[in-house]
Amino acid sequence: MKIVILGPPGAGKGTYASRLTKILGIPHISTGDMVRDEIRRQTDLGRKIKEYSDKGELVPDEIIIKLLAERLKRDDCKRGFILDGFPRTIGQAEALDRISGVDLVINLNVPDNVIIARLSNRLICSKCGAIYNALTLKPKKEGICDRCGGKLYRREDDRPEVIKERLRVYRRETEPLIEYYAKRGLLKNVSCNDIMTPPEVMVEKIIKVIREAERERNL
Ligand code: ADP
Ligand code: ZN
């Protein structure tokens, strides 16, 4: 199944997608991770996109669409994928329709206070990319990844001023996609109103919605 997870920054897209990938056996594709990877490896492209990412702005459509199109060509995407962080503009959604199509869009509804609390406490593993939270999803040992022992860090764009800008960009550029996919009958909503809701509970809700779509539309 070709799944898109939609939602504001900090909605939990990456946290849930990284768990869903194991349950569903299809790859988790995060354009945010791809962008950070290019920056870390200091490729030509990485140097070009760092300035956007650091400011909380979107990388230009033509760059990100090309990156994603390359990724979707790989063999592991044949049976479907979970897209996290793409599409983020109507232009990207139209490109995705051309490249591969979409079977289901899961829209995560999360209030602003939860988003801000999540992002300002988010910790990422520098080795494996696992996501933790200093408030709600603490690692067993402070500053160290449970899974691989890597060092945890805070993302450059998780600073309060940048969080505000990312939310503004989300409302302006990405929120219109809810309507875009609802009109096509592809959208399902999943809500998280409480910051303490554990990821497993959310993942269960999402799986339910996926099974529902499979039954309704014979996917
Ligand atoms: P968030 O936690 O805000 O959802 P991501 O990890 O998905 O952030 O992305 C981090 C940054 O990478 C974004 O702020 C943006 O600069 C860039 N980026 C990721 N995906 C896209 C995309 N589909 N279009 C444009 N820029 C993107
Ligand atoms: Zn790790």
Among 35, 25, 32, smallest CA distance to 5 is for 32
Cis ω for the linkage preceding 87 (within 30 of 0): yes
For the chain, percent helix, then strand, then coil, each to nearest 5?
50, 15, 35
- DSSP 3-state of 185: coil
Ligand 1 proximity of 166 Cβ (cutoff 6 Å): yes
Nearest residue (CA) to ligand 1, atom 12 = 32
Q: Would the pTM of this model clear 0.85, i.e. be above it?
A: yes
| CATH superfamily placement of domain 2-109+194-218 | P-loop containing nucleotide triphosphate hydrolases (3.40.50.300)
pLDDT at 193: 86
Q: Is 122 a known active-site residue?
A: yes
Q: Tokens 């109103």 — which residue?
A: 193
Q: Mind listing the pLDDT tens digit for each residue in 90-125?
A: 999 999 999 999 999 999 999 988 998 889 999 999
Q: Tokens 């989300």 — which residue?
A: 170
Beta bridge partners of 52: none
